Amino acid sequence: MPPLARLAADLTAKLGAENVLTDPLARTLYEYDGGVDRAQPDLVVFPRSRDQVAAIVRAAAAAGVPIVARGAGTGLSGGAVAREGGVVVAFNRMRRILEVDVENARAVVEPGVVNLELSQSLAPTGFYFAPDPSSQRACTLGGNVAENSGGPHTLLHGVTVNHVTGLEIVLADGSVAQLGGQAGEALPGAWDLTGVVVGSEGTLALVTAVTVKLTRLPEAVGTLLAIYDQVGQAAETVTALTAAGITPSACEMMDGFCLRAIEAATGAGYPMDSAAVLLMDVEGLREEVEEDAERVEAICRAAGARSVRRAADAPERELLWKGRKNAFGAMGRISPNNYVMDGVIPRTRIAPVLEEIEAVGRRHGFRIGNMFHAGDGNLHPLVFFDERAGELPRALACSHDIIQVCVAAGGSITGEHGVGIEKQDLMPLIFADADLAYMERIRRAFNPDGLLNPNKMIPQSRLCGEIRGNAALYREGL
């Protein structure tokens, strides 16, 4: 029996046939995520426990087969795409909330728990899980940990790594390690291994349980929509808010182009004729929200806002946010395909960088839309294109140039979507050879045979034969 068939038989015996997909048609559902890269896995397995995950890793490692973890597949950088083939470990059936410990403001969850479902189930306690990626109705905690996910409200509350205090992981040899887990800081002699595994995109270990920090729901939230006739005025507002020492819990910008599509799709009440809007939340005590909302409104007007609307109640607030949260779905109205990028720039540079990005788009013949986390300078330029017209390669080239604009402004190639396959070859834009080599050494300490999510994040051209090792052999053996 060939090694792969033997592995399939072995895992079927261990997990049951209902938890192993071998059928090629069924496997095609697992060949993509929310990004543009595709690759079909050789097997898809659905563990139901940590011990099953450990058994899968041991069996796959013994067979020299790559192992790729997958949550809901909403990632945008190809992190869950098995580009070297192998076994996709889909965590959808490990979705129990194992423990809620309100007095210590923490919960322990399995990696397949859906982000929004965690916060909804916590609601009666008065607490929630703060990171809120746009995909939060579908994306899983395991995926959030892998990508160190953000979201609109990370401006005030921080990204996933700021809300994860411990992990249970299965290492590349199938052994299990408990990391962190206590609310306190690392004491002498204990390194912050949790912090290294968060954001490692499935290349260091498989996560089987996550200890998260819970955040108290605010007493009051104020939502403001500031409407501008010029994009530059909205950008100016962001700078002025920062200078005034105000940190909204969210500060989202949408340009007129995106806005009109969103409004047509969702009826959130956005103005159809404006150049840009800022959607902002302020939160805290009632007294703080009153004061901050007044200050924010004054700053918006001083920067040239045509009008500033404040949501009167929770339903109106939800309606304003509904537009933003469903924005990506609405983009289908603009063009058959869109490519969303994830660059970061210093937030004082928003206006000139948006102009440069528009110019890049014109050069490549594409219309660029912008809706993004303005408060922390995390841009999400959208390139609108038509794949059937063969425009994808040109759209990717345009995106590459846009990221270079962000880097030239002193920024980063990704703020929350991860590197994965998508930005693997862009890493040298911000890291020197020695930096990338150091990352390889960290990978080697955790994942010496390179079987965990191979050929991701670190440019392949850098990888020496030693680390390409088993994954490359596996591919050649097919």
Q: Please, what is the minimum distance in Å from the beta carbon of residue 184 to another protein?
A: 3
Strands 43-45 and 87-90: parallel
CA distance 175 to 147: 23
CA distance 225 to 270: 9
User: Which CB sits closer to another protein, 120 or 178?
Assistant: 178
Strands 127-128 and 215-216: antiparallel
Name which of 343, 321, 331 is nearest 385 in CA terms.
331
**DSSP character string of 332-397:** GGT-SEEEE---B--GGGHHHHHHHHHHHHHHHT--EEEEEEGGGTB--EEEEE-GGGT-HHHHHH
Q: Which token pair is 81?
A: 């795409």
DSSP 31: S
DSSP 218: P
Please give the C-alpha separations between residue 152 and each of 135, 159, 248, in angstroms, as whole numbers: 11, 10, 10
Residue type, 373: H
CA distance 426 to 405: 12
Q: Please, what is the minimum distance in Å from the beta carbon of residue 104 to another protein?
A: 4
User: Which CB sits closer to another protein, 24 or 245?
Assistant: 245
The helix-helix angle for 350-364 and 392-408 (nearest 10°) equals 150
User: Which CB sits closer to another protein, 42 or 342?
Assistant: 342
Name which of 1, 103, 89 is nearest 46 in CA terms.
89
* C-beta of residue 310 within 8 angstroms of C-beta of residue 297: yes
CA distance 87 to 126: 40
Q: Please, what is the minimum distance in Å from the beta carbon of residue 177 to another protein?
A: 3
User: Which CB sits closer to another protein, 190 or 302?
Assistant: 190
User: Which CB sits closer to another protein, 24 or 184?
Assistant: 184
Q: Please, what is the minimum distance in Å from the beta carbon of residue 470 to another protein?
A: 18
* C-beta of residue 150 within 8 angstroms of C-beta of residue 378: yes
Q: Please, what is the minimum distance in Å from the beta carbon of residue 25 to another protein?
A: 34
Q: Which residues contact 333 (CB under 8 A, 6 or more apart)?
A: 261, 264, 265
Radius of gyration of the chain (CA): 23
Residue 126 exposure: Cα atoms within 13 Å on the Cβ side = 7
CA distance 118 to 140: 9
Phi, psi dihedral angles at 179 (to 5 degrees): -115, 135
Q: Which residues contact 405 (CB under 8 A, 6 or more apart)?
A: 343, 353, 356, 357, 360
Q: Please, what is the minimum distance in Å from the beta carbon of residue 297 to another protein?
A: 16
Bridge partners for 372 per DSSP: 253
User: Which CB sits closer to another protein, 309 or 373?
Assistant: 373
User: Which CB sits closer to another protein, 68 or 457?
Assistant: 457
Q: Please, what is the minimum distance in Å from the beta carbon of residue 175 to another protein?
A: 6
User: Which CB sits closer to another protein, 274 or 447?
Assistant: 447
* C-beta of residue 347 within 8 angstroms of C-beta of residue 239: yes
Q: Please, what is the minimum distance in Å from the beta carbon of residue 244 to another protein?
A: 8
* C-beta of residue 176 within 8 angstroms of C-beta of residue 168: yes
User: Which CB sits closer to another protein, 19 or 447?
Assistant: 447
User: Which CB sits closer to another protein, 66 or 411?
Assistant: 411
Q: Please, what is the minimum distance in Å from the beta carbon of residue 153 to another protein?
A: 13
Q: Please, what is the minimum distance in Å from the beta carbon of residue 448 to another protein?
A: 8
Q: Please, what is the minimum distance in Å from the beta carbon of residue 414 to another protein?
A: 5
User: Which CB sits closer to another protein, 101 or 386?
Assistant: 101
Q: Please, what is the minimum distance in Å from the beta carbon of residue 26 to another protein?
A: 32
User: Which CB sits closer to another protein, 401 or 440?
Assistant: 440
115-120-121 Cα angle (round to 5): 100
